[in-house]
Structure 1
Amino acid sequence: MPETVILGVIGSDAHVVGITILEQALSAAGFEVENLGVQSSQEEFVEAAKAEDAGAVLVSSLYGHARQDCEGFHERLEEAGLDVLTYVGGNLSVGQDDFESTRERFREMGFDRVFDAETDPEEAIASLRRDLQLTTTEPEAVRVDS
């Protein structure tokens, strides 16, 4: 059974191209993807994660206001009884000069992984597989001699 991930653009952001590419890449990699689309609220992410029994929630933001849009996000997940992997990526801060400080800020907010807008989808997928402890090969059959 494929692992389900929730994907969407949070807040008032209407940038759709990145999540469309990511949705296609995740689907091709064998994930079941629930794409919330653009301008998604924290509540929509939480409700979808709960309804789909998701293993991960991937939040995208390109307009530079992700910090404000993600404030309290992990508290909402916790209140809903959800323990899911959380990723955030994109152009997360207006005037973002030093991405390492941005990464640290979002890690402190509770995100498991933080990616910049230049991240290749394959890098995020590889991290997702590792973090969810998924393997890409089938287990070897055990031979029983009779």
Structure 2
Amino acid sequence: MATKVILGVIGSDAHVVGITILEQALSASGFDVVNLGMQTSQEEFVEAAAAHDAEAILVSSLYGHAKQDCEGFHERIEEADLDVVTYIGGNLAVGQDDFAETRAFFRELGFDRVFDSKTDPEEAIAALRADFDLHSSEDERERTPSLSA
């Protein structure tokens, strides 16, 4: 069964070309993509992830206001009792001079991966594959009884 991912542009951002390209690349790589489009609220991401039993939420933002748009996002995910990986990418902050600081900010908010606007879709796809291989291994360890007992 294909990994289900939710994709969308958060907040008031109306940039849609990037997620269209990402949707095509993800689909071509075997992912099952639900594209919420532009101007997606936090609630819409969470509701879609729950409704589709998604394994990942990919948030895009190009207009520089993702810091404001994503405050409280992971708290909503926790309240919905979702077990998803979360990625964010794009032009995430107005005047973004030091992307390392921007990455640290979004990691602190709870995002598993943070990408800048120059990231190739293949990099995000490789990261998803790596993260799901890791999750599969963790799930398998939890289901396999320990022999040391």
Distance 2:88 2:127 in 1: 12
The answer to whether 1:101 aligns with 2:104 is: no
- In structure 1, how many angstroms separate the alpha carbons of the residues matched to 2:2 and 2:36? 18
- Count, aligned residues: 134
For residues 99 and 120 of structure 2, the distance between their equivalents in structure 1, rounded to whole angstroms, comes to: 16
Residue 114 (structure 1) aligns with: 114
CA RMSD of aligned residues (A): 0.7
The 3-state SS of whatever aligns with 1:40 is: coil
Give 1:71's aligned residue. 71
Residue aligned with 2:5, SS: strand
> Per-residue CA shift, 1:61-86, capped at 9, x if unaligned?
00000000000000000000112100
Matches of 1:46 and 1:124, distance apart in 2: 20
- Please identify which structure carries the higher helix content: 2
Partner residue, 1:132? 132
Write the letter of the residue equivalent to 2:109. Answer: M
Displaced runs of 4 or more, over 2 A: none
Q: 2-side partners of 1:33 and 1:121: how far apart?
A: 14
Distance in 2 of aligned mates of 1:50 and 1:133: 22
Compute the TM-score of the two structures, normalised by the length of structure 2.
Answer: 0.89
Partner of 1:29: 29
- Distance, in Å, in 2 between the alignment partners of 1:129 and 1:56 is 11
- For normalisation by structure 1, the TM-score amounts to 0.91
Q: CA deviation at 1:123?
A: 0.4
CA deviation string 1:16-62 (max 9, x = no partner): 00000000000000000000000000000000000010010000000
**Overall identity of the aligned pairs, in %:** 78
Alignment of 1:83-102 (within 5 A): 83-102=83-102
| More strand per residue | 1
Unpaired runs of at least 5, structure 1: 135-146
> Could you tell me which amino acid in structure 2 is paired with residue 45 of structure 1?
F
